Every structure is written in C-alpha cells, then in structure tokens.
C-alpha cells in the first residue's frame, strides 16, 4: 500500500514539474516576441520591424564563397629575386566572396555603355566621366613591336569579349567596383519589390544623369534617390521578411536590417587575394595544412600530370625568352597574349586564373614590410576613413552636375571623383577620432611605416614642420601637373631631382600574380610587386571581392580531408 502511494506521489510530482517547465517555456518564448522586452516583433500595428525570415547572404553575381581561416602569408619558397618584401607571417582572414574570374572586357564595356548613356560625353558637365573611365588601349604599343591589332581591337571586339580587361589603372578599377555595387543592389531592390520593374534599363528616359541610383544615397536619404522620382521608388514595408504595399507604413524603404542590400563590391586586400590564390584548403587534414604550396595548384611544376592533359601548362605565362605559348600546333598554354577566362583549371576554391593570364590589382598601398606585429587579422594597409557630408539642411549632400569633383592625375588623365546621385564624402574628424585607441586620423596609409614619427631622421625638437623640410622614409619623385584656368591646357613638370632614393609613396599599389608577360617565378601567390595607382599596363587587370556577413561558413565544417 505504501509503495503504491509513493509511486503515485512521484508520478504527480513529475507531472507538476513537467507542466511547470512547459508553462515557463511557453511564457518566456512566446512566438514572435522580443527576448528583451516581450513585445511582439513585426506587429502589423507598428513597432519594431525585423527580417525574421533571413537565412543567409545571397551569393553575389559572378562570385564564389571563400571560407576564411589562418594561413602563412609570404614566401615559403626560395626568394630568388632577393626582394625581401614578403617574409612569412601568420595571418587570419574572414570569409568573403570573390569573382571566379578576372573582370572581362565584356563586363567592363557594359560599365562604359552605362556611363555613356547616363552621362553623355557630349554634355560639358559630364564629358570627363566617360572618357575618364575608358581603359588606356595604348598600353599595347611597343617601340620595337607591332601590336596595333590589340590597340584597336582588344577592348571592344567580340573575339576578346571574355578576355580579362587590361589598360585599367587602380583608380578606374575602384570606380568600376562602386558602379557594380550600385547596379547589383538596384537589381536586388527591384526583385524584392522596392523599385519599379525594368526602370533600371530605361537609360536616358527614367534613369538620367539627374536621376540615378546609389546604394549609399538610398540608405542615407532614400527620397533623394533617382532624384526623388517616386514613380520608381515604390513604397513597401517589411513584415517578417515579406514586402507589402503600405500607404501609411513607417518602414517604406529597404534598410540594412532588411537583409537584401549586399555589401560593397571592392578590390580584395592583398592578404585576401593571396589566401584565395593559395587555396590551402585543398591541402588540409582536420585543422592543419599538409605542407605549403608553391602555386595555386598542388605540386611543384607548372604542367598538368593528369592523363587527359598531361604536359599542358596550368596557367598562361611566358615560358622562356621569345616563348609566350609554345610551338604552333602543340597544346601548351594555348595563348600568346592573354587568354579567355576559364581556359585553365580552377583552384580548390573554384577561382580561375589566380596565376597567369593577367596580374591583378589589390587594394593595399605598397610597403616592403607587412606589419604583422600591428595586426594579424584581416591585414590591410590603405585605410582612409571617410564619412557622409551633411548639407546645411541637416541631410546628406548628394553630388549633382554643379558640384561634381574631378581629379587630374599625374599623367594628365582626368577622372571623376564621384558621380551625380552619389553621397559626397569628407574625411572623418575629431568627432570620430577623439579619445579613441583603435584609430586617431582619417588617413592611415603611413601608420607605423613612412610617416615622420617612424623615420630614423625624425627630429622631435624641430620647428620645421613643413612637408618640404621633413625627411621622409618614402620620398619618391613628385611630378606635378597643373591646368591653366584660361586655356585649359595642361602644364607638366617632371621631378628630375637626383636625391630620390625610392619609387614608393602613398599612391603606389600592390599587384599580385603572374601574367602572360611574366616567367613562372611570379606565379607564386606570395610574390608581390607595386605600380603607380594612376597608371595602367597591358598585363594588369583586376577582380572584385565582397565581405561575407554572418557566420564563417553556411555549413558544418567537414571532418578529415575535404573532397573537391
């Protein structure tokens, strides 16, 4: 009898505990309620709105995901050139996306078409926008070579449409990246019902120089986008991830918390590019790398060992003096100049031509030393922090035809600093830097390397603080160019000083990877060279990258050695 009573009491006790836990769980986790306040999120009557349907960042057009991780940045093979500018250091890279190929002539001429249509070069206000974006086709010329066919045809002829674009300087590559950001986000907003369908293709009618889309403008002052044309700016509100027509909605425009606006397209950092090119993930077992790789592929040789392609070159490069592609009729690298993208196998990240074809611009300002003691996470030298310019009305100032700025480069080329419709930018000031420990100035290109305080000659007691009187570590030639205000003619003056000891300054950028003009040594992803950011060549192109938001990986990391 007592045993039965005890069992009954135990059963009642367990039942009461279960009911109590269930009620507690239900009360503290009401569906759709905030864990901070208990208020309902995405209430149709108003209140806080959040995209609860968001799952992951959409893979951007033309890109593949690159899962981040740690790697040894720098030369792990013999430094036969004795550059001493790539000593090995341990770095960690966050996950990002990267173009699977270099930007092609077809991609770049689409950009030129858009500029020419929206900002007609026949109009005085816009004449330098289009011409400033055109690649320098004269880079193909050689004093003792006949290359006029490439000079006249390489950029626009359909035979070269899928070849990597060249003749683009670093600044032009950055401007292309900004344009691409806006066009992709414009398309994303249209697909999600925030913009009028097909308005983006009606260039010259609905989309004009005074009515263009800019991602920054849309986020900062959406009513100024498309020049305030509300026929294009469809008003929608987000309700738990669903877009609905709203006459009196509070969130009538997409915002960052909508989750549909992608981060900016940009040039990859040097560390990102080298990490992606090395693709050590294909040489991994559990959480260690099984040795280092000399090239983007496995092995110590540039030729394929597979049965179907045995002996073929795995990249497009100069194989010897006077040998850019082998003997006629023999399957070697299949090219003499550049080659069609995807002509060679991809590396273990799915990226093509990370060695050969064209070398590629990266974002970094060049310095002989990678300062891993200052930072070993997402390393990048070149930060110049800017902020939106606020107008007298307290709203961001949008660039117009009247206040657009142009820069005259050292070689005389005129480039637009920004386009009408974009938000004007100014350097950050004391409002952002005061009492900060992580940064103190807008321009950080010289940080710990090249500014006056880091030079061996810096005189802390000197009263000479002028730029001309300072003994700088990197004192490259300073060519000057000026424009006569009356005639508009350019006056060019070469720096002929014999006291210059370096070509390095804050306007030279790193480029990575070997090209069709380079020998095999430069195919090593760790090799690094530099070139002035406002000049172009017939062997440097570029590809874009985009930061990944959210988790490092969208899937659980496989155990053991990955299969590709």
Stronger pLDDT, 451 or 99, i.e. the higher one: 99
* 97-113 mean pLDDT: 97
Domain membership of residue 493 (yes or no) is yes
Tell me what pLDDT residue 562 has: 52
Could you tell me the pLDDT band of residue 144, with boundaries at 50, 70 and 90? very high
pLDDT band for position 18 (cuts 50, 70, 90): low
What's the pLDDT score for residue 213?
Answer: 93
Asked if residues 386 and 393 have their Cβ atoms less than 8 Å apart, the reply is: no
Q: Own/partner pairs for 367-373, CB < 8 Å, 24+ apart?
A: 367/449, 367/450, 367/504, 368/84, 368/85, 368/504, 369/85, 369/87, 369/449, 370/73, 370/74, 370/86, 370/87, 370/89, 371/448, 371/449, 372/73, 372/89, 372/90, 372/91
Quick check: 78 pLDDT over 90?
Answer: no
Compute the distance between CA of residue 54 and CA of residue 50 in angstroms, rounded to an integer: 9
Greater pLDDT, 243 or 421:
421
pLDDT at residue 245 greater than cutoff 50 = no
Q: Choose between 331 and 149: higher pLDDT.
A: 149
Give the per-residue pLDDT at 495.
84
**Does residue 180 sit in helix, strand or coil?**
helix
Q: What is the pLDDT of residue 469?
A: 44
* In-domain check, residue 354: no
Helix (H) / strand (E) element for 366: namely: none
* pLDDT score at 246: 43
Cβ-proximal residues to 554 (8 Å cutoff; 6+ apart), any chain: 56, 65
Evaluate if residue 17 carries a pLDDT over 60.
no
pLDDT in tens, 498-543: 888 888 989 999 999 999 999 999 999 999 999 999 999 999 999 9
CB 509 within 8 A of CB 530: yes
Classify residue 501: in a domain, yes or no. yes
Average pLDDT over residues 488-494: 77
Lowest mean pLDDT among 39-48, 349-358, 506-515: 39-48
> What pLDDT score was predicted for residue 485?
63
Task: Identify the pLDDT of residue 282.
Answer: 77
Q: Does residue 151 carry a pLDDT above 80?
A: yes
Q: What is the mean pLDDT of residues 337-354?
A: 94
What local confidence, expressed as pLDDT, does residue 310 receive?
63
261 pLDDT band, cuts 50/70/90, is very high
Can you tell me the distance from the alpha carbon of 246 to that of 77, in angstroms, rounded to the nearest whole number? 62
- Domain assignment present for 476: yes
Could you tell me if residue 455 is inside a domain? yes
Q: What range defines the domain where residue 499 resides? A: 451-461+468-505
Section 463-479 average pLDDT:
62
Q: pLDDT tens across 289-321, in order?
A: 777 788 888 877 777 666 666 667 888 999 889
Strands 540-541 and 359-365: parallel
Prediction pTM value = 0.88
Q: Tokens 């900060």 map to which residue? A: 436
Question: What is the phi/psi pair of residue 19, to 5°?
Answer: -65, -40
Per mean pLDDT, which range of 129-143, 188-202, 420-434, 510-524 is the poorest?
188-202
The DSSP string of 104-135 is BHHHHHHHHHHHHHHS-TTSGGGHHHHHHHS-
Nearest to 356, CA basis, from 186, 516, 140:
516
Looking at residue 559, what is its pLDDT? 53
Any domain includes 342: no
Bigger pLDDT: 400 vs 17? 400
Report the pLDDT value the prediction gives residue 277, as an integer from 0 to 100: 95
Count of other CB atoms within 10 angstroms of residue 311 = 11
* Better-scored residue on pLDDT, 167 or 455: 167
Alpha carbon 489 to chain centroid, angstroms:
35
Q: Which residue has the higher pLDDT, 510 or 551?
A: 510
Query: What is the mean pLDDT of the segment spanning 391-408?
Result: 87
Determine the pLDDT at residue 32. Answer: 80
In a domain, 404, yes or no: no
Domain count, the chain: 1
- pLDDT attached to residue 27: 45
Residue 104 has pLDDT above 90, yes or no: yes
How many other CB atoms are there within 10 angstroms of residue 61's CB atom?
Answer: 13
Confidence grade of residue 26 (pLDDT, cut at 50, 70, 90):
very low
User: How much is the mean pLDDT over the chain?
Assistant: 84
pLDDT on residue 209: 87
Residue 331 pLDDT class (50, 70, 90 cuts) = low
Instruction: Tell me: pLDDT of 147 over 80.
Output: yes
pLDDT band at 557, cuts 50/70/90? low
Give the Cα separation of 311 and 304 in Å (integer).
5
Report pLDDT digits (tens) over 262-296.
999 999 999 999 999 998 887 777 777 777 788 88
**If residue 183 lies in a helix (H) or strand (E), which one and from where to where?**
helix 170-191
Token code pair at residue 121: 């070069």
């Amino acid at each position: 009898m007592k045993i039965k009573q005890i069992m009954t009491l135990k059963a009642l006790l367990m039942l009461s505990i279960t009911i109590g836990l269930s009620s507690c769980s239900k009360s503290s986790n009401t569906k759709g309620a905030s864990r901070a306040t208990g208020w309902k999120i995405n209430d149709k009557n108003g209140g806080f709105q959040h995209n609860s349907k968001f799952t992951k960042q959409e893979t951007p057009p033309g890109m593949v995901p690159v899962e981040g991780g740690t790697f040894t940045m720098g030369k792990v093979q013999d430094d036969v050139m004795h550059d001493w500018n790539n000593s090995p250091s341990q770095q960690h890279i966050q996950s990002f996306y990267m173009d699977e190929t270099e930007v092609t002539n077809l991609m770049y001429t689409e950009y030129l078409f858009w500029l020419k249509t929206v900002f007609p070069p026949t109009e005085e206000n816009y004449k330098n926008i289009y011409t400033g974006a055109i690649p320098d086709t004269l880079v193909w010329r050689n004093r003792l070579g006949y290359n006029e066919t490439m000079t006249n045809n390489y950029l626009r002829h359909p035979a070269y449409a899928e070849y990597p674009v060249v003749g683009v300087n670093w600044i032009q590559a950055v401007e292309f990246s900004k344009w691409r950001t806006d066009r992709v986000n414009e398309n994303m907003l249209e697909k999600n019902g925030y913009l009028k369908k097909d308005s983006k293709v009606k260039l010259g009618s609905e989309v004009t120089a005074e009515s263009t889309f800019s991602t920054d403008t849309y986020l900062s002052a959406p009513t100024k986008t498309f020049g305030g044309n509300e026929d294009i700016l469809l008003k929608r509100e987000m309700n738990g991830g669903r877009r609905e027509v709203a006459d009196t909605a509070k969130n009538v425009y997409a915002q960052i918390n909508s989750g549909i606006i992608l981060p900016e397209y940009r040039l990859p950092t040097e560390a990102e590019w080298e990490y992606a090119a090395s693709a050590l993930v294909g040489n991994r077992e559990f959480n260690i790398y099984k040795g280092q790789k000399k090239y983007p592929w496995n092995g110590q040789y540039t030729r394929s060992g597979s049965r179907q392609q045995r002996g073929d070159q795995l990249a497009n490069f100069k194989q010897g003096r006077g040998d850019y592609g082998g003997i006629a009729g023999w399957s070697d690298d299949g090219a003499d100049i550049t080659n069609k993208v995807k002509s060679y196998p991809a590396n273990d990240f799915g990226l093509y031509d990370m060695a050969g074809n064209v070398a590629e611009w990266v974002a970094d300002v060049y310095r002989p030393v990678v300062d891993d003691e200052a930072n070993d996470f997402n390393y990048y030298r070149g930060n110049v922090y800017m902020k939106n310019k606020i107008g007298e009305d307290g709203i961001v100032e949008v660039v117009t035809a009247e206040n657009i700025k142009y820069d005259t480069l050292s070689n005389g080329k005129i480039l637009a600093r920004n386009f009408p419709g974009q938000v004007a930018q100014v350097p950050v000031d004391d409002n952002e830097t005061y009492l900060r420990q992580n940064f103190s100035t807008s321009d950080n290109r010289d940080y710990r390397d090249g500014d006056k305080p880091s030079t061996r000659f810096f005189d802390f007691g000197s009263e000479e603080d002028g730029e001309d009187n300072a003994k700088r570590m990197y004192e490259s030639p300073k060519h000057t160019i000026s424009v006569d205000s009356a005639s508009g003619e350019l006056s060019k003056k070469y720096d002929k000083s014999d006291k210059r000891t370096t070509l390095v300054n804050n306007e030279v950028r790193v480029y990575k990877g070997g090209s069709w003009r380079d020998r095999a040594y430069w195919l090593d992803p760790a090799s690094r060279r530099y070139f002035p950011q406002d000049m172009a060549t017939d062997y440097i192109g570029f590809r874009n990258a985009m930061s990944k938001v959210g988790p490092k990986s969208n899937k659980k990391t496989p155990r053991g050695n990955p299969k590709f």
